[in-house]
Amino acid sequence: MCLTFLLPLFGNFFFLIFCLKLLELKPILRLGCKKGGTEELLSDPWFEGLSADLIQRKALLAPYVPKLKGSADVANFEEAEDEHDDVESFSYSGSQDKWKKWGVKIKA
């Protein structure tokens, strides 16, 4: 695999190597799956300068925060087609008796 070809896709050499280590086919060689676990993961050069404590406390500022027109603004997301528009096709039509013991009332 040519790393020079992949570098523009990832933008950062350390991030590219980090992703390749995470995508290792053999679990015993995969980053984070070895003896060190999450410590090994967080000690990767890509995380250099980041504090594990700040990550756990979610105290880091996001590098980019989109401007929103309101709490329901989805302008920053692509339109996605819903494969399952027909909710009725997923309705369960069998016996509802098993729910009675929990006091659940099912509308027929």
At 37-81, the pLDDT tens digits run 888 888 888 888 888 788 788 888 888 888 899 988 988 888 877
Cα 67 to the chain's mean position, in Å? Answer: 22
DSSP state string for 35-62: TTHHHHHHTSGGGTT--HHHHHTT-SPP
Higher-pLDDT residue of 58, 83: 58
Whole-Å CA distances, 89 to 84, 85, 86, 104: 8, 9, 6, 22
Q: What is the pLDDT of residue 87?
A: 56
How many Cα atoms within 13 Å fall on the side-chain side of residue 43? 8
The verdict on pTM exceeding 0.85 is: no
Q: Which amino acid is at 92?
A: Y
**Domain spans, the chain:** 3-56
Cα 104 to the chain's mean position, in Å? Answer: 33
Does the structure show a pLDDT above 80 at 23?
A: yes
- Mean pLDDT over 6-24 rounds to 78
